[in-house]
Amino acid sequence: MSDRQHCRPVNIDELREAVAWAVGEERTLEVRGNGTKAGYGRPVECSAVLETTGLAGIDMYEPDELVMSAGAGTPLAEIEAALAEKGQMLAFEPADYGAILGGEAGRQTIGGVFAANLCGPRRIRSGAARDHLLGLQTVTGHGQIIKTGGRVVKNVTGYDLCKLLTGSMGTLAVMSHVTFKVLPAPETCGTLLLTGAARATLLGALCRAMGSAFDVSSAALLPAAAAARSTVPDVSLAGGEVAALRIEGPAPSVAYRISRLEDLLHDGEIECARLDPDGSALLWREIRDAALLDRQAPLWRISTAPTAAADIAGEREDVLFDWSGGLIWATGDERGDLRARVDATGGHATLVRASPELRSAMAPFHPQAGPLRALSRRVKNSFDPGRVLNSGRMYEGI
């Protein structure tokens, strides 16, 4: 692929030209930001590369209005630094897929974050990227500049194409500009660690905590092997399975809620311990990036009902439960046994990291039933009839 053309437009008109060129010449474009997720999805061969890193820079940030707008190619790190300066954050806490996929950490672009609909452990309380995107400027596979959404949080004017395009992996349109919601960072955060009990008991405790009024923002369970890999001593030295609950907010409120949760969950079996804010920040980052699992083996990401987690994972040690069991990260499994179990209980399993051969042999995104697959194809067709943009990246022909 040494003679692939490579374009890096620096404004929306150049971007439109590039797509129009590809359509006219019947070329296919690999759409990407910094390419940190190049190994994610079905391997496809495109005849040219379209990179968004030239469309960079924060061009509007109004902390009082909780809104920011930036070129799709702006590095996430730049955005997070600007937000931190004002005590704000992206509440959906996007995972770092560069690190997850075995590349360099800290390099992804904000466009890539939305195109892949990333999120993190706070998903259960604050949503995913989809819940934070307010407006978009894109170029579709018709070579047209399309605007959707706006800069205000409440907007039902026309179809919510922001939702449709978030997570579409560049297969419908190329994002040039994103406007999104930002939120105040919590004053402090604490973590309650639960140990001493079997997996089922700990998962049950997480569900109970989530059903309480104490506004838990994250709930994870680390099997012994995963816990042992943590750089947080309280976790790695616990010697056994460790469950963790994150509580965020004003300091007195955090202290109060942690102690109420202790009262609620502490029983003969479960032992409780607390992590300070620094330890908490470190641990939740490790969980966010699935850093507590083997970094070479194939990696699955399973979204399911929390109560199905125990059945799906069985006695596997090479797993990590987040979202109170609603998210399972698992390594190994080159045969897709996990996916078969998910089919039986509901949910979906994504093969996030695997060799190109395995990603060709086994659909990385969960296969869809007939009518849904047909509908997805028609949706693809409505944006990109010439199959120019990242075609085949998600599903065959999509």
Partner 1 sequence: MSGIAMPEPDAEAIAKRDWLIDALRGIVPGEGVISTPEELRAYECDALSTYRQVPMAVVLPETVEQVSKVLALCDRERIKVVPRGAGTSLSGGALPVTDGIVLGMGKFNRILDIDWANRCVVTQPGVTNLGITRAVEHEGFYYAPDPSSQIACTIGGNIGENSGGVHCLKYGLTTNNVLGLEMVLTNGDVIRLGGRHLDAEGYDLLGLMTGSEGLLGVVTEVTVRILQKPETLRAVLMGFPSVEAGGDCVATIIARGIIPGGLEMMDHPAINAAEDFCNAGYPRDAQALLICELDGPQAEVDHLIDTVTDIARDLGATYLKVSQSEEERLGFWAGRKNAFPAVGRISPDYICMDGTIPRSELAHVLRRMQQMSAKYGLRVANVFHAGDGNLHPLILFDANKPGELDNAEAFGADILKLCVEVGGVLTGEHGVGIEKRDLMPEMFTEDDLNQQARVKCAFDPTQILNPGKMFPKLHRCAELGRMHVHKGQMPFPELERF
Site residues for partner 1, 181-210, by CB under 8 A, read 183-185, 187, 207, 210
CB of 328 closer than 8 Å to CB of 304 = yes
67 binds partner 1 (CB under 8 A): yes
372 membership: H or E segment, kind and range:
helix 370-383
Smallest gap from Cβ 152 to partner 1, in A, equals 4
Per CB under 8 A, which of residues 131..150 are in contact with partner 1?
131, 140, 142-148, 150
C-beta separation of 146 from 71 below 8 A = no
For the chain, the residue count is 398
323 versus 329: smaller Cβ distance to partner 1: 323
Write the binding mask 252 to 271 for partner 1: x where contact by CB under 8 A, - elsewhere.
Answer: xx--xx--x-----------
Evaluated on CA atoms 234, 107, 321, 240, the torsion sign reads: negative
Interacting span for partner 1 (CB under 8 A) from 32-40, 102-110, 154-162, 225-233: 154-162
What is the size of the binding site for partner 1 (CB under 8 A)?
Answer: 110
When asked if residue 374 is in the footprint of partner 1 (CB under 8 A), the reply is yes
Q: Pick from 43, 39, 35: which is nearest to 8 by CA?
A: 35
CB of 236 to partner 1, least distance (A): 29
Closest distance of CB 123 from partner 1, Å: 6
CA 176/CA 27 separation, integer angstroms: 20
In this structure, what token pair is assigned to residue 68? 């920011």
Report, in Å, the least distance between residue 337 CB and partner 1.
18
Q: Rounded CA gap, 78 and 39, in Å?
A: 24
**Which position among 12, 44, 61, 63 is part of the footprint of partner 1 (CB under 8 A)?**
63
List the one residue from 103, 127, 277, 332 that touches partner 1 (CB under 8 A): 127
From the CA atom positions of the chain, what is the Rg in Å? 21
At 91, which helix (H) or strand (E)? none
| H, E, C per residue of 269-338 | CCEEEEECHHHHHHHHHHHHCCCCCCCCCCEEEEECCHHHHHHHHCCCCCEEEEHHHCEEEEECCCCCHH
When asked if residue 231 is in the footprint of partner 1 (CB under 8 A), the reply is no
Structure tokens at 157: 């004017």
Q: State how far the Cα of 215 lies from the Cα of 65, in Å rounded to an integer.
A: 24
Nearer to partner 1, 74 or 168 (CB): 168
The answer to whether 74 contacts partner 1 (rule: CB under 8 A) is no
Between β-strands 188-195 and 173-181, what pairing exists: parallel, antiparallel or unpaired? Answer: unpaired
Nearest-approach distance from CB 112 to partner 1, in angstroms: 16
**Contact characters 81-120, partner 1, x per CB under 8 A:** ------x-----------------------------x-x-
Could you tell me the smallest distance in angstroms from the CB atom of residue 336 to partner 1? 15
Segment near partner 1 (CB under 8 A); pick from 9-17, 76-84, 104-112, 262-270: 9-17
Binding segment toward partner 1, per CB under 8 A, in 58-66, 218-226, 272-280, 284-292: 58-66
Instruction: Give the sign of the dihedral formed by CA 218, CA 72, CA 150, CA 172.
Output: negative
For the bound state, the minimum distance from the C-beta of residue 135 to partner 1, rounded and expressed in Å, comes to 9
Binding mask 282-321 for partner 1 (x = CB under 8 A): ---------------------xxxxx--------------
Q: Is 61 in the site for partner 1 (CB under 8 A)?
A: no
Nearer to partner 1, 59 or 215 (CB): 215
Closest C-alpha among 263, 334, 349, 372 to residue 300? 349
Contact with partner 1 (CB under 8 A): which of 167, 240, 332, 336?
167
Sort residue 44 into left (φ over 0), alpha (ψ -120 to 50) or beta. Answer: beta
Of the listed pieces 101-109, 224-232, 247-255, 353-361, which binds partner 1 according to CB under 8 A? 247-255
Choices 157-165, 224-232, 290-298, 331-339; region in contact with partner 1 by CB under 8 A: 157-165
Asked if 67 and 180 count as a contact pair (C-beta separation under 8 A), the reply is yes
Nearest-angstrom CA–CA distance, 236 and 224: 8
